[in-house]
Chains A and B, each alone.
Chain A
Amino acid sequence: MEEKFDAIVVGAGPAGSACGYTLAKAGLNTLVVERGKFPGAKNMWGGAYYGPFLHELFPNFWEEAPVERYIKHRKFSFLTEDSALSVDFTTKKFDEPPYNGFSVLRAKFDRWLASKAEQAGAIVASGLQGDDLLWEGSKVSGIKAGGDDLPADVVVVCDGANSILAEKAGLRGDLSPKDMKQGVKEVIQLPREVIEQRFNLNGKEGIAWESLGTFTKGIPGGAFIYTNEDSLSIGVVVQLNALAEKNVKANDLLEEYKQHPEVASFLKDGKMVEYSAHLIPVSGKAMMPTLYGDGILVAGDAAAMTLATGLALEGANFAIASGAAAAETIIEAKKTGDFSKTTLSRYQTRLEQSFVLKDLETFKKAPHFLENPRLYEKYPEFVCDMAEKIFTNDGKPREKTMKLLKQAMDGRISFLQIIQDLWQIKRSI
């Protein structure tokens, strides 16, 4: 006889596993399906996880979860072809539990998170794909997976940035390349002590280092390096439509970034052990699908719950929080057995009350601001030129700083543009 689940979750990424865990813990009969051979097999990201939400779900998770290093340093650089201007922030507070962030590799981390769902009583079926939805009239009544019909009271769609099921459910239209960034990354192995020496780290300390600069050739985006225990995650994240319009490959930008004199010495003698790529939904609220329907909810990247402000590019914490919020909504709906759209709309209310939709609302204008091409070429050149002028001693009589500033701006950027951009910063981030 066919088993009917209380809930089926599609995708065992951060959203799906957090959802499956929360549902199972409340005693709901929960199935999580994952198309990869194991949870995490299809997933990649830059590599750092920030924020307290996971700690709320699993207190002191860093003691058992496969985290690589805690983020002790946040470094940011403007790079031109041959120069770099960097800021490196650290504080004693980043040293202390609950820590501000961790570098993480998804193949290990996602497996751990899915194991928490399993321990709570959910069935996690890897190597099983949620191919389509089952319908009873206009209500979703389960999924089709691996040739079988699997009925459930409610389906939670956590199938990632490309979300096939959100599309099939009619909750969103076609995705646009304007709303996506492409991330490409390499994992480069280096001995632990070499990493610690090069980046000036001790023990479990790590660094998250992001850069903007001319290496993206004016394409909105940037590069990152995160230190893992005995490897580096290094990659670029760039606007998908701009790659198409300018006929540029993300990998070429990554290679250019790796060759930068400021970067190359950190990678020396490293062994490349993986090359990965993924899309990131970056337009926030502007691209968000309808989050619920009769018998269905959408969470994580599938719901475009990623915060991109230029200073932050975060998704996993939003995914975990949205997955948990979807579960709480279902647990409540289960009490009356009513999984209609009206009942499930409380999911949206929950998200509006949490940081998930609050942050996305606060920064809803940021994606537009980040399209400004000056951020990726003119400003890096301007600040590096300015720094060079200030720090160079060539024996010639010196100029006053304001005159140097004017020289660095000359022909590159106008006062009016700077004022306009500062105004945009105030409005959007």
Chain B
Amino acid sequence: MSTMKIEDKLAVNKFDIDKDVHIQLKEEACKNCDVHSCLYVCPADCFKLGESDNITFAYEGCLECGSCRIVCDKDAIEWTLPRAGFGICYQYG
């Protein structure tokens, strides 16, 4: 079995993506961070490092695990759950 990328893995999942973004970055706090733990602890690769060393976040593939919320010590993540009925919808679990 060849190595699979996270985005390809997420592509097989069932999501009901809401128009509302459930996780927001607090830009000021995020800017002052050079650890970028979010890049590693997010199992869905929702956080990316931008060209100017800024973090960007895309909520669509979020598996709602809460890792980023717990790990970020800059308090830079406004973390909520997607609206009820939206987000990841596991068919196996």
Residue numbers of A with Cβ under 8 A of B are: 35-37, 40-45, 105-107, 110, 126-129, 146, 161-162, 164, 174-177, 180, 182, 184, 186-187, 231, 233, 240-241, 243-244, 247-251, 255, 258-259, 264, 267-268, 270, 272-279
Contact = CB atoms under 8 A, between A and B. Distances in A.
B92 A182 contact: no
A40 B1 contact: no
B43 A182 contact: yes
B93 A107 contact: yes
B81 A244 contact: no
B19 interface: no
Interface in B55-91: 63-67, 69-71, 81, 83-85, 87-91
B39 to A, nearest CB: 8
Contact of A44 (B44, B66, B90): B90
B71 A186 contact: no
Interface in B1-48: 1, 3-4, 6, 9-10, 12-13, 16, 35, 37, 39-41, 43-45
A162 B69 contact: yes
Given A107-B91, A129-B84, 19 more contacts: A42-B88, A43-B93, A174-B70, A175-B66, A176-B70, A177-B41, A180-B70, A240-B41, A249-B40, A250-B43, A264-B1, A267-B1, A270-B1, A272-B4, A273-B12, A273-B92, A274-B13, A275-B10, A276-B93
Lowest 8 CB-CB distances: which A-B pairs, in order?
A106-B93, A275-B9, A277-B43, A244-B37, A129-B84, A127-B85, A162-B66, A107-B93
A45 B93 contact: yes
Contact of A40 (B4, B44, B69, B90): B90
Interface of B: 1, 3-4, 6, 9-10, 12-13, 16, 35, 37, 39-41, 43-45, 63-67, 69-71, 81, 83-85, 87-93
Contacts of A110: 93
Nearest to A277: B43
Nearest to A179: B70
Contacts of B67: 177, 180, 182, 240, 277, 279
12 contacts: A41-B88, A105-B93, A107-B90, A164-B81, A175-B66, A182-B43, A184-B43, A273-B12, A273-B91, A275-B13, A276-B93, A279-B67
Contact of B71 (A105, A127, A177): A177
A355 to B, nearest CB: 25
Contacts of B64: 42
B89 A161 contact: no
A182 B40 contact: no
Nearest to B63: A277
A244 B89 CA distance: 27
B55 to A, nearest CB: 14
Contacts of B43: 182, 184, 249-251, 277
Contacts of A40: 90, 93
Contacts of A177: 41, 67, 70-71
Contacts of B71: 177, 240-241, 244
B83 A129 contact: yes
A275 B12 contact: yes
B90 A175 contact: no
A367 to B, nearest CB: 16
B9 A182 contact: no
A264 to B, nearest CB: 6
A44 B83 CA distance: 19
Contact of B66 (A161, A249, A267): A161
A419 B55 CA distance: 46
Given A164-B81, A277-B63, A258 B93 contact: no
Nearest to A247: B40
A232 to B, nearest CB: 11
